[in-house]
């Protein structure tokens, strides 16, 4: 096991709840923001570790609802409390509507070196259905402005599955390539329980793509982006060479991570724990509400499946050494079946999913391996 740790900071505030969103995020709660930052910093200071922080990730919610002073105070708390890598990746998720020139300059000078912009789409019709607050030109201008100010590591989120035509998806991908950014996270729309989208789907006012259409789009997106300089390095993620999200890779490679804030989860030395989902409880001082120690077998299986998500897959020798196991023996026929079916490839001592065609059915494969 290595001596690194990855820090996640959850900012649960949003300007407005999106109709498809099932994340722990709250609108119209800004009056509690200062108190939230106080509690967050207190939680950061209360955690001690000798490990070195390799990345800091501000996720949400909408971290760009914070003002620069808030962000600086959180980063200062992290720097004062932990030993930090010489060159940490510091990612900040941002809503395009926040990314005005002055705000971007502040983020840059505070030390944010990776922006993850919630673009979601370059089609106004789709942005409207998604209930987003920006339109396509505002989104595009935010990206251009961020580049002009000096951000050299920009990721965009894109959602698909709203019954788009292939030419609409192609239009969006072309935009991504022309904007010359470094990373794309793609999200297949999933209509979650309790969301506004669930109601709309039931009353017939929302049309979403069916499974076959989703699969076609997935393969098309993978083909398009990989033909245009991106590597399909994880099931839903694409990056130019050297721009894989260091932070997210920590989850897939089974490294230790520590989350702070409402609903944040952590995984340290084989123990998983999560904070309360309730903003009210967090503000009153409550943090961890769930803790579990994984059994050795569960830990091995979880790590194996997480590593299979990436295109590098699993190096059998290293994996066996790391977990004192024999992974092929542990899975026996269950794994061999997927190898024989060419869904998992075994090559030069590595196991990995057989490209986008296997990635698209990865949930079914993983459900038998977990």
Site of interaction with ligand SF4 (CB under 6 A)? 14, 17-18, 21, 23, 25, 60-62
- Residue 342 CB, nearest distance to ligand SF4 (Å)? 37
Q: Are 73 and 102 in contact (CB under 8 A)?
A: no
Which residues, at least 6 apart from 97, have a Cβ–Cβ distance to it below 8 Å? 15, 133, 134, 138, 142
Q: Are 139 and 165 in contact (CB under 8 A)?
A: no
Residue closer to ligand SF4 by CB (options 60, 161) is 60
Could you give the CA distance from residue 342 to residue 16 in angstroms, rounded to a whole number? 45
CB atoms within 10 A of CB 352: 19
Q: Are 319 and 304 in contact (CB under 8 A)?
A: yes
DSSP secondary structure string, 282-295? Answer: HHTT--EEEEEEPP
- Residue 306 CB, nearest distance to ligand SF4 (Å)? 23
Residue closer to ligand SF4 by CB (options 18, 99) is 18
Q: Are 277 and 262 in contact (CB under 8 A)?
A: yes
- Residue 263 CB, nearest distance to ligand SF4 (Å)? 11
Residue closer to ligand SF4 by CB (options 23, 220) is 23
- Residue 202 CB, nearest distance to ligand SF4 (Å)? 20
CB atoms within 10 A of CB 239: 23
- Residue 21 CB, nearest distance to ligand SF4 (Å)? 3
* 3-state SS class at 39: helix
- Residue 370 CB, nearest distance to ligand SF4 (Å)? 27
- Residue 64 CB, nearest distance to ligand SF4 (Å)? 10
Residue closer to ligand SF4 by CB (options 60, 254) is 60
Give CA separation, 79 vs 6, 82, 83, 201, 236, in Å. Answer: 13, 6, 7, 46, 31
- Residue 98 CB, nearest distance to ligand SF4 (Å)? 11
Residue closer to ligand SF4 by CB (options 139, 254) is 139
Residue closer to ligand SF4 by CB (options 25, 237) is 25
Overall size of the chain counted in residues? 370
- Residue 127 CB, nearest distance to ligand SF4 (Å)? 12
CB atoms within 10 A of CB 315: 16
Residue closer to ligand SF4 by CB (options 28, 100) is 28
Residue closer to ligand SF4 by CB (options 155, 325) is 155
Residue closer to ligand SF4 by CB (options 62, 310) is 62
Strand duo 237-239 + 231-234: pairing: antiparallel
Q: Are 239 and 183 in contact (CB under 8 A)?
A: yes
Q: What residue spans of 227-354 are helical by DSSP H?
A: 246-252, 279-283, 296-308, 316-323, 327-331, 333-340
Q: How far is C-alpha 173 from the geometric centre of its chain's CA atoms? A: 19
Could you give the CA distance from residue 357 to residue 311 in angstroms, rounded to a whole number? 12
């Amino acid at each position: 096991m290595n001596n690194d740790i990855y820090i996640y900071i959850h900012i649960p505030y949003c300007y407005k709840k999106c109709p498809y969103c099932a994340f722990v995020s709250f609108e119209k709660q800004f009056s509690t923001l200062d108190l939230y930052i106080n509690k967050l910093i207190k939680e950061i200071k209360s955690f001690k570790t000798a490990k070195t922080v390799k990345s800091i990730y501000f996720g949400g919610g909408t971290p760009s609802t914070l003002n620069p002073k808030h962000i600086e105070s959180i980063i200062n708390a992290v720097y004062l409390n932990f030993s930090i890598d010489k060159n940490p990746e510091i990612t900040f998720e941002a809503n395009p509507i926040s990314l005005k020139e002055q705000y971007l300059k502040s983020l840059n000078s505070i030390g944010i070196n990776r922006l993850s912009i919630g673009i979601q789409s370059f089609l106004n019709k789709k942005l409207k259905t998604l209930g987003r607050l920006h339109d396509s030109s505002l989104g595009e201008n935010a990206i251009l402005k961020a580049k002009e100010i000096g951000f050299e590591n920009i990721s965009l989120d894109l959602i698909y599955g709203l019954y788009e035509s292939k030419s609409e998806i192609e239009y969006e991908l072309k935009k991504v390539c022309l904007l010359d950014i470094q990373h794309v996270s793609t999200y297949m729309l999933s209509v979650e329980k309790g969301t506004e989208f669930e109601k709309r789907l039931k009353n017939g006012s929302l049309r979403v793509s069916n499974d076959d259409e989703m699969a076609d789009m997935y393969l098309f997106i993978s083909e398009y982006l990989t033909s245009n300089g991106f590597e399909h390095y994880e099931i839903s993620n694409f990056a130019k060479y050297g721009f894989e999200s260091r932070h997210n890779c920590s989850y897939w490679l089974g490294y230790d991570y520590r989350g702070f804030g409402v609903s944040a989860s952590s995984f340290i030395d084989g123990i998983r724990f999560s904070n309360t989902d309730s903003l009210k409880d967090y503000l009153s001082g409550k943090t961890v509400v769930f803790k579990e120690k994984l059994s050795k077998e569960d830990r091995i299986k979880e790590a194996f499946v997480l590593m299979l998500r990436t295109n590098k897959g699993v190096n059998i020798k290293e994996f066996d050494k790391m977990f004192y196991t024999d992974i092929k023996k542990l899975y026996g026929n269950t794994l061999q079946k997927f190898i024989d079916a060419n869904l998992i490839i075994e090559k030069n001592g590595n196991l990995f999913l057989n490209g986008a065609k296997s990635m698209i059915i990865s949930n079914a494969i993983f459900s038998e391996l977990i």
